[in-house]
Amino acid sequence: MDQPVQITFRDVPPSAAVEARIQEEAEALRQYDDRIVRCRVVVEQPHRHHHQGRLFAVHIDLTVPGREIVIGPGSDDDHAHEDVYVAIRDAFEAARRQLQGHVRRLRERRHESAGPLAEGRVARLIRDGDYGFIETKDGREIYFHRNSVIDGSFDRIEAGVPVHFVEELGEKGPQATTVRPRHSRSARGKAAAE
């Protein structure tokens, strides 16, 4: 994230434990899109019911290049939201779903507008960093992020796997924006036999 998560408490006393949970949830969103520019979270208790507990409302305003994702509070009748951690979980789950949909639509648009796919092979993977490098036929290495791998198959690819990819110029040089593993019939048959 370009900026730290901004957390605001309204009609709720600030809590270090709640802030820590929000930080964890916000950081977890990066696995779906590492280009998150800003994340603002508001935790409040707007409803005051005399016969039942007070419900927490969590608002999230997430900014990624080309889109702002806004999550409002859940249902006013969801009494599970009397627990602030459940309200936080549900709000970030909604943010995750919208972020995944946004990333999926971007990939589809890139794939549709992309010209012919280049060919190469996965040279190496940095799994704990969620990225890797493709060796092209002319010997260059092209960076790719796990979000660039079609169908979320980053965890299933290995070094040496042939791939098709779309190369674009990124902030730090060439990068693959769409990576599709090529599985030959013999490789699939060999894997099935093992």
pLDDT in tens, 91-124: 999 999 998 888 877 776 665 555 567 899 999 9
The DSSP code for 56 is P
As a whole-number percent, the residues of the chain with pLDDT over 70 amount to 81
Between CA 177 and CA 121 the distance in angstroms is 15
Structural element, H or E, at residue 24 = helix 16-29
Burial of 6-44, coded b for 16+ CB within 10 Å and e otherwise, reads ebeeeebeeeeebeebbeebbeebeebbeebeebbbbbb
As a whole-number percent, the residues of the chain with pLDDT over 90 amount to 38
Domains of the chain: 6-111 (3.30.160.100), 118-193 (2.40.50.140)
Angle ∠(146,147,149) on CA atoms, nearest 5:
70
3-class DSSP state for residue 120?
Answer: strand
- Within 13 Å, how many C-alpha atoms sit on residue 185's CB side? 0
Helix axis angle, 16-29 to 84-113, nearest 10°: 20
Residues in the chain: 194
Q: Is the pLDDT of residue 23 over 70?
A: yes
Q: Is the pLDDT of residue 186 over 60?
A: no
pTM over 0.75: no
